[in-house]
Amino acid sequence: MQLTTAQHLKSEIYVPITPPPVWTPLAKPLSECTVAFCTAGGVHLKSQPRFNLSGDYSFRTIPSETPSSELMVSHGGFDNSDVNKDINSMLPIDRLHELEKEGFIGKVAPVLIGFMGGGGNVQKFKQESGPEIAEILKNEGVDIAVFTGGCGTCHRSATIVERAVESVGISTAIIAALPPIAKQQGAPRITAPHVPIGSNAGEPNNVAMQTAILKDTLTAIEEMTTFGQMKTLPYEYRHNV
């Protein structure tokens, strides 16, 4: 059969490919929720092995009682100066404990998660690390998991893990410095403060900003009703590298 054809025809409309929705509605008030935090920003205990900066799909479990001074970052995809000043700008562990004391959340999950999402292997994160992390959080009785990612691929890796966690019945959100990537990769909920990568959870040592970003994100989890919603947060921080 003969068909008239042409070489070099080009599709005329850009199509964003979003994966299918994953969605777990939040079943109880924040004040009764166990909250975990996961960062793809390469955070781990000083006593744990460093991540391989050229790509690493392993992860570190961080006991939530760890003092923030015992934490460090190994990540090659963003400027580490902010997070070296204050680990809370990527993993707001101190803020979480404050929110527990305040009664804003029920309690902090016993274990938090650090991994290095830069250059992340999609298949490995999707098929291995993501489900393993989800399993750990599930067994801890976590209701909410909040994520941060550093660089671009880091946002992708963070979103992949976030989706795995959401799919086991935990409500999640990502605090994104690069919201278009989180959106396109299919993050269930996104909050977007005006921050550079590497300080997604707020300016280093700015407790008020970090608290506000975390609180607004947790509130957004309570308020958002459909997959893929994004909320821009009114906090701005610029850093000069």
Rule CB under 8 A: is residue 168 a binding residue for other proteins? no
Task: Compute φ and ψ for 214, nearest 5 degrees.
Answer: -65, -45
Rule CB under 8 A: is residue 4 a binding residue for other proteins? yes
The helix/strand/coil state of 36 is strand
Token pair, residue 115, equals 């991994």
16 to 55: interface string for other proteins, x by CB under 8 A: xxx----------------------------------xxx
Beta carbons within 10 angstroms of residue 100's beta carbon: 17
Question: In whole angstroms, how far apart are CA 198 and each of 73, 130, 139, 146, 155?
Answer: 10, 21, 29, 16, 11
Residue with the two structure tokens 């166990």: 34
Q: Which of 199, 197, 194, 200 is nearest to 174 (CA)?
A: 200
186 to 225: interface string for other proteins, x by CB under 8 A: -----------x----------------------------
Comparison of 60 and 183: residue with beta carbon closer to other proteins = 183
Q: Which of 181, 177, 204, 196 is nearest to 79 (CA)?
A: 196
Query: Shortest distance, CB of residue 158 to other proteins, whole angstroms?
Result: 13
The helix/strand/coil state of 40 is coil
Residue with the two structure tokens 């396109």: 184
The helix/strand/coil state of 69 is helix
Amino acid at 147: F
Comparison of 11 and 69: residue with beta carbon closer to other proteins = 11
Contact indicator for 210, 235 with CB cutoff of 8 Å: no
49 to 88: interface string for other proteins, x by CB under 8 A: ----xxx--------------------xx-----------
Query: Shortest distance, CB of residue 162 to other proteins, whole angstroms?
Result: 16
Rule CB under 8 A: is residue 110 a binding residue for other proteins? no
Comparison of 97 and 124: residue with beta carbon closer to other proteins = 124
The helix/strand/coil state of 6 is coil
Among 36, 170, 181, 224, binds other proteins (CB under 8 A): 181
Comparison of 19 and 63: residue with beta carbon closer to other proteins = 19
Residues binding other proteins (CB under 8 A): 1-18, 53-55, 76-77, 118-122, 151-153, 156, 178, 180-181, 184, 197
